[in-house]
Amino acid sequence: MQLLEHSWRRAWSALHTEPAHGLFKQLVACYREAHRRYHTLQHLSECLEKLEPVLGRAEHPGEVEVALWFHDAIYAVKRQDNEQQSALWAKRALASAGYSAEGLARVYSLIMATRHSALPQTADERLLVDIDLSILGATAERFAEYGRQVRQEYAWVPDWLFWRKRKAILQEFMARQSIYGTEHFYRQYEAQARQNLEHALASARNT
């Protein structure tokens, strides 16, 4: 919790504004929702840990950090608009704090980039997306745990359908020229990510 509180204060300080009273607790409660298995405080904390050494490389560090806080704030496995709803919530929170319209648009775009449906366009988007995807380059043990957590979140989906969708997603990442868009994350995670994905795809073919 110390990491979360420190990050929260730092982000809003960088934005030179104050969050609404109770917003921190509200977001923490979201990441603790009972139906979550991967998109939890563990994931948020891991993202914030990955942000620490690269925060100085962000063009708008406060916006990147706040976007991380909100990027999975809304997470319902049967919805298709989680990122959009999370991004809209972030915009409302920042607008109520008096943040600039330009900043609101950037934060919205940052969160929408975590849909991973298209390559990120700006330097901050590439940084945020790489942080979100750092789980792909985690240790083999953590990556396996991540796979189990995702399956638990979609426990209601039949195995044949889950693995068909899952394989398509993994293959899409494998087909990219590079999984990571920043030099820091490419050097640190690319090789391990490809090894993890290859292993996951091999396992999926035997499912």
Rounded distance between C-alpha atoms, residue 133 and residue 179, angstroms: 8
Top CATH class of 2-205 equals mainly alpha
pLDDT tens readout for residues 185-195: 999 999 999 99
Q: Number of C-alpha atoms within 13 angstroms, CB side, residue 62?
A: 16
Q: Both ends of the chain: CA-CA distance in Å?
A: 38
Q: Which of 55, 191, 96, 19 is nearest to 199 (CA)?
A: 191
Cα R_g (the chain), whole angstroms: 17
pLDDT tens readout for residues 137-186: 999 999 999 999 999 999 999 999 999 999 999 999 999 999 999 999 99
pTM: 0.96
| 178 CB-contact burial (10 Å; exposed 0-12 / middle 13-18 / buried 19+) | exposed
CA–CA–CA angle 32, 112, 91 (5° rounding): 75
